[in-house]
Amino acid sequence: MPKAGLSETRLLRLSKVLQDYVDRGEIAGAVAAVHRKGKEAYADAIGWQDKEARIPVRRDTIFRIMSMTKPITAAAALLLAEEGKIRLHDPVDAWLPELSGRVVLRDPNGRLDDVVPASRPITLHDLLTSRIGIGWEDHPLQSEMMKLLPAPLAKPLGEQHAEEHLDPDSWMKRLSELPLLYQPGTRFLYHIAHEVLGVLIARVSGQTLDAFYRERIFEPLGMNDTSFALPPEKRGRLSVAYAPKAEGGLIELDRPESTAWAEAPIFPSGGAGLLSTADDYRRFGRMLLGYGEVDGVRMLSRKSVEAMITDHLAPEQRAQPFFDETDYDGSMMWTNKGYGYGVSVRTKQIGIGPGIGSFFWPGALGTTWIADPREELMATLMIQLRGAQLPKNSLIAYDFWTMLYQAIID
C-alpha cells in the first residue's frame, strides 16, 4: 500500500540494501527515516550501535554528524541577518577584526611571503558560501588548515597535530597569521569559513554558540538530542565511530565511554561539532523543506530559506575541482550541483536520484540527509563510518538515493 506516495514494498528494498551492507561488514549499523508530504513514510534501524558489544542501533541512537553541522550554522547566521544585527553583504571586520586588512598570496602555490592586499573585506555572504579565500583544498597551507581542527573533531578524522587547546579568540588569532590563498569571493574552499561563522554568530549575538543554538534552534524545533557535548545520561545512546580497514572490516575511532564529546568543547565547532539523531535532524530538514516552518513553528522566513538553497557559485567556481571528489556518475564535484549557504544544491538530476532543487550536505563520519522541495521529501541516513559518503570509499550514498527515489509511485 502506498504511504505519502511511496510504495511500502519498494521502501523495504532500502532496508534490504542497508542490511546487506551490515552483513558484509562494510558498516556497523544504520538508521534511516523518510518523511514525505507531511507524513512519516518509513523508519528503520539496522545493525549495531556497538558492533563489538553487540548493542543494536536504535532510532534514538546518537551520531557525530560532523559537517551536517554546517547547514545549522548557516541557518543561525540567517536568524541574525533577519533581525538586522548583521547584513549579508556587510564586511565582518567590526566583529572579526582578525580578518581585517587581509593579504593574499600572489600565487596560491607560491612563496608564503609573496602577497598582495585583499581587494575587499570578507563579508557574511562570503562566509556562508565558503568563499573567504582560505580553507581546505590541495594547497601549501592545507597542513596548517588541518592543525586548526578543534577538539573533539581531530582524533576521529586522523589529525594528530591539531592545536586542540585553542579557544575561539585564540583560534581566530592563529587564523589571522596566515595569508589568504585567493581573493575574497572568488573561490570555494571548504570548512574553515563555517568555523569562522560560528565565532561570528557568538560575537554578534553576545552568547556562546551552544547557548544560541539551544535557545534559537534546538528548543523551538524540539531537537532535544542535538548538542555539542554528550550529557552523562545519554552516553549509552552514542554510537561507536568506525573507519574502514584497508584489508576489509572496521576499526574503532571513538567510543562512548572515552569520547571527547563527553566534555563541553573549548571551541564549539560551527563546521562539524554537533551530535544528533535521525529524528532530530529530520526536524531541522523539514523546517527547511517548509521554507522556514515546521509543525506550526516558524524559525526562518521563506526568503531566507530561498537564499540558503540557491546555488551561489559562479560557473568558473564550479569548474574548479574539490579535492579529487566526483559525483556518483563520475562527473566532477560541481558539474551537476552547486553550493548555497551550508548546503549543496542539485542543478541536474542524475539517474534515479535527487531532483533539481534538492539540497543536502553529508558528514565525514557517515551521516547524510536530503530535502527535495519538488517531491516534498526529507530523508536522513545515519551511519557511523568515516568517509562513507565519499564515492571513492563507498556507494552507500548512491544506493540510499536510488532506493529512496525508486519508491516514489505517485
- pLDDT tens for 203-219 read 999 999 999 999 999 99
pLDDT band at 322 (very low <50, low <70, confident <90, very high): confident
Q: Let me know if 198 is exposed, middle or buried by CB neighbors in 10 A (0-12, 13-18, 19+).
A: buried
**Cα–Cα distance, 33 to 181 (Å, whole number):** 40
Phi then psi for residue 204, to 5 deg, are -70, -40
Contact by Cβ (8 Å): 196, 172: yes
Q: Domain 75-205, what architecture?
A: 3-Layer(aba) Sandwich (3.40)
**133: helix, coil or strand?**
coil
Assigned CATH class of 2-68+224-405: alpha beta
- pLDDT tens for 53-112 read 999 999 999 999 999 999 999 999 999 999 999 999 999 999 999 999 999 999 999 999
Percent of the chain clearing pLDDT 90 (strictly above): 87
Task: Say which DSSP state 136 is in.
Answer: B
Total count of residues recorded for the chain = 410
Instruction: Name the segment(s) of the chain with CATH classification 3.40.710.10.
Output: 2-68+224-405, 75-205
